[in-house]
């Protein structure tokens, strides 16, 4: 799923056949596996975890090398820290990351093959639109209470289906206006049914499961109370979790500290409960420069590197205590978004400047901006050459990428031709003038502290000023930016990014569907029956519906190819470039198996610290 909050962030090893009990064929991941096999066998990825039953408890047994218990791994987050610890309220990537550490889902994604694999579930079967989930018997929440079918049914029926918190999961699984159903068969068996066969649903079962005995009182108090439930002000002792770690301490603007969950259900081959680490700490570092300084100073154990820093770190690697890993193209997308909102407020006033709306709603204007941007120069100077220009709505490593959409270079003459078609001219000083005599001037925003996006903003400003546009570039605090995008709609253009999956485009449904919660470029869409300018949005709606209901890969890809073609032509998002993900981690940490899908610490419960000599 593409995570909320307009967030900005967001993976390569040997492919194995799944050994778990799964009756599901997903040929769409075959290409991903074949590409990885070419380069990843040397990393010696361990065999897949398997279920073992000990004293009536269905543990998931790691097959990774035995490690040592104890120690702390210190990572970092950029910005102001999490906004909530409630996994169902999360609307930003940092809050989602914190939640994923504490709450597991029924299923997960294999970090190499991309196949859905059991997590809280012992096994699962899929037959058309019928999903049978068998839970692990005997596993417990961090407070010692059993994890059962009641928790699963409550989570899906009373939180997700009933629309509590962030509704992006709920919105993504509506079929023909109907939600799936969920029912308890027995204490450890649950059945889901979708209204029709619905290809993306299997991956939605990775959504977190809530402890009913903790969340039910909050749900009973209503949605307004639920919005504040498990906020960042909550006492850590009140958290009951299923993940490898539980919250120990949160110091605003400084750090988030997790401690090992003694009741975790993953064990090693000696039948000892994981995780190995005692603590997992996230320092809240503010910005990229501060993060780099803390890693170089030894305060951080791992870091994601932007292109500008890679060469220096690669040189340091030769005589330092860390290793750098290339994780392949970023699975998210980075873009310039243009405000197409054109509806009136309740008081009858337009929420944006009408002359700007004439510019932004003109496809020639948007395409002119697209051709004016020098993506190759940005890759070279901002990403240090570690990236590729991006022109499509799907990431470069997506198995659904429409490869028929061809890249193109900056073409200022093409931009000018497009503007002239719409009646734009230039005065003697080279300023761009619309056909009503208005100078073209607008604001460009991004989130302050993200040095990569700030650098992109500077270059976009220069590229567009070459066209005679006056661009007021304004990096602002993240929450203020989100308020503009979501609430006031008081913005012109913004440089942002969204996380994504290279395996399932339906995760972007809440971005592209006209009623989606992240449909940021036109949150109040025009009436399709009266405004032909937005018929392309309606067509994208239809393509996402058809793509989710198709059951074979080729049919699905055809529908998703079409939506990418429309986005390529209409330019509500102007994509910029896809950086290569580079990460570093201290050599003292073992059981490190980086993958393009999972990143560098996807197997956090298996990671341990080797005794330092």
Homologous superfamily (CATH) for 333-579: Dipeptide-binding Protein; Domain 3 (3.10.105.10)
Q: How confident is the model at residue 138 (pLDDT cuts 50, 70, 90)?
A: very high
Would you say 43 and 50 are in contact if contact means Cβ atoms under 8 Å apart? no
From CA 516, how far away is CA 494, in angstroms rounded?
Answer: 19
How open is the CA angle 391-394-397, to the nearest 5 degrees? 100
- Which has the higher per-residue pLDDT, 582 or 515? 582
Nearest to 471 by CA among 449, 519, 439, 498: 439
pLDDT in tens, 513-522: 888 878 888 8
Would you say 570 and 298 are in contact if contact means Cβ atoms under 8 Å apart? no
β 470-476/441-447 pair status: parallel
Share of the chain above pLDDT 70, in %: 89
Nearest to 167 by CA among 487, 510, 522: 510
Evaluate if residue 30 carries a pLDDT over 50.
no
- How many other C-beta atoms can be found within 10 angstroms of the C-beta atom of residue 185? 12
Q: How confident is the model at residue 354 (pLDDT cuts 50, 70, 90)?
A: confident
Nearest to 250 by CA among 5, 7, 77: 77
- How many other C-beta atoms can be found within 10 angstroms of the C-beta atom of residue 155? 24
Would you say 129 and 194 are in contact if contact means Cβ atoms under 8 Å apart? yes
From CA 411, how far away is CA 415, in angstroms rounded?
Answer: 6
Q: Which of 29-38, 150-159, 213-222, 527-536 has the lowest mean pLDDT?
A: 29-38
Strands (E), 371-440: 387-389, 425-426, 432-433
**The dihedral formed by the CA atoms of 109, 250, 323 and 383, expressed in degrees to the nearest 10:** 80
Q: How confident is the model at residue 172 (pLDDT cuts 50, 70, 90)?
A: confident
Q: Which residue has the tokens 């750090």?
A: 255
Evaluate if residue 98 carries a pLDDT over 80.
yes
From CA 250, how far away is CA 91, in angstroms rounded?
Answer: 19
Q: What's the whole-number mean pLDDT along residues 95-124? A: 94
Evaluate if residue 28 carries a pLDDT over 50.
no
Nearest to 382 by CA among 463, 289, 331, 309: 309
From CA 231, how far away is CA 548, in angstroms rounded?
Answer: 34
Beta bridge partners of 130: 127, 193
From CA 99, how far away is CA 522, in angstroms rounded?
Answer: 29
| Residues carrying CATH 3.10.105.10, the chain | 333-579
**What pLDDT does residue 519 have?**
86
Q: What's the whole-number mean pLDDT along residues 287-301? A: 93
**What pLDDT does residue 207 have?**
95
What lies within 8 Å, CB to CB, of 62 at 6+ separation is: 46, 49, 266, 267, 268, 269, 274, 603, 605, 606
- Which has the higher per-residue pLDDT, 597 or 567? 567
Q: What's the whole-number mean pLDDT along residues 234-241? A: 95
Domain 22-286+587-609 has CATH 3.30.1360.230: no
Evaluate if residue 475 carries a pLDDT over 50.
yes
| Residues carrying CATH 3.40.190.10, the chain | 22-286+587-609
**What pLDDT does residue 20 have?**
28
Q: Which of 33-37, 68-72, 268-272, 523-527 has the lowest mean pLDDT?
A: 33-37
**What pLDDT does residue 352 have?**
57
**What pLDDT does residue 331 have?**
85
């Amino acid at each position: 799923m593409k995570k909320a909050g307009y967030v900005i962030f967001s993976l390569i090893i040997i492919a194995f056949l799944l050994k778990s009990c799964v009756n599901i064929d997903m040929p769409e991941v075959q290409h991903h596996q074949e590409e990885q096999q070419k380069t990843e066998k040397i990393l010696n990825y361990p065999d897949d975890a398997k279920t073992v039953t000990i004293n009536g408890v269905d543990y998931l047994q790691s097959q990774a090398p035995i490690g040592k218990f104890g120690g702390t791994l210190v990572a970092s987050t950029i910005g102001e820290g999490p906004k909530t610890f409630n996994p169902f309220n999360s609307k930003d990537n940092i809050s989602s990351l914190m939640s994923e550490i504490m709450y597991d889902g029924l299923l997960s994604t294999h970090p190499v093959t991309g196949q859905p694999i059991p997590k809280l579930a012992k096994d699962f079967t899929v037959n058309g639109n019928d999903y049978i989930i068998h839970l692990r018997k005997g596993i417990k929440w961090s407070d010692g209470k059993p994890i059962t079918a009641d928790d699963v049914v409550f989570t899906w029926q009373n939180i997700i289906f009933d629309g509590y918190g962030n509704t992006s999961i709920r919105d993504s699984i509506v079929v023909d206006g109907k939600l799936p159903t969920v029912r308890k068969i027995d204490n450890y068996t649950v059945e889901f049914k979708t209204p029709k066969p619905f290809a993306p649903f299997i991956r939605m079962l990775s959504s977190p499961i809530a402890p009913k005995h903790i969340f039910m009182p909050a749900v009973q108090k209503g949605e307004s109370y639920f919005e504040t439930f498990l906020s960042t002000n909550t006492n850590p002792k009140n958290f009951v979790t299923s993940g490898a770690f539980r919250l120990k301490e949160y110091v605003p603007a400084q750090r988030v500290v997790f401690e090992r969950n003694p009741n975790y259900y993953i064990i090693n081959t000696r039948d000892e409960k994981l995780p190995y680490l005692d603590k997992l700490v996230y320092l809240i570092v503010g910005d990229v420069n501060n993060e780099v300084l803390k890693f170089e100073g030894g305060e951080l154990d791992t870091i994601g590197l932007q292109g500008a820093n890679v060469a220096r770190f690669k040189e340091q690697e030769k005589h330092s205590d860390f290793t750098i890993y290339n994780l392949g193209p970023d699975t998210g997308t980075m873009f310039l978004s243009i405000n197409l909102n054109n509806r009136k407020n309740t008081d009858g006033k337009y929420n944006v400047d009408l002359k700007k709306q004439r510019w932004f709603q003109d496809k020639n204007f948007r395409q002119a901006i697209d051709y004016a941007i020098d993506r190759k120069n940005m890759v070279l100077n901002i990403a240090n050459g570690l990236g590729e220009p991006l022109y499509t709505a799907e990431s470069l490593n997506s198995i659904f990428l429409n490869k028929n959409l061809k890249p193109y270079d900056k073409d200022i003459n093409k931009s000018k031709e497009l503007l002239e078609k719409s009646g734009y001219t230039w005065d003697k000083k080279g300023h761009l003038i619309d056909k009503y005599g208005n100078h073209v001037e607008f604001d460009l925003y991004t989130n302050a502290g993200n040095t990569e996006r700030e650098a992109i903003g500077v270059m976009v400003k220069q590229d567009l000023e070459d066209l005679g546009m006056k661009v007021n570039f304004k990096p602002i605090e993240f929450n203020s930016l989100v308020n503009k995008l979501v609430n006031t709609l008081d913005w012109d253009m913004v440089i942002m990014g969204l996380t994504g999956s290279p395996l399932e485009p339906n995760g972007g449904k809440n971005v592209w569907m006209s009623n989606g919660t992240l449909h940021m470029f036109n949150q109040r869409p025009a009436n399709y029956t009266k405004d032909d300018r937005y018929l392309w949005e309606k067509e994208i709606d239809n393509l996402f519906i058809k793509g989710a209901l198709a059951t074979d890969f080729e049919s699905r890809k055809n529908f998703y190819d079409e939506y990418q073609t429309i986005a390529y032509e209409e330019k509500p998002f102007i994509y910029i470039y896809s950086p290569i993900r580079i990460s570093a981690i201290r050599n003292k940490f073992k059981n490190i198996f980086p993958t393009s899908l999972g990143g560098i610490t996807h197997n956090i419960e298996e990671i341990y610290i080797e005794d330092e000599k």
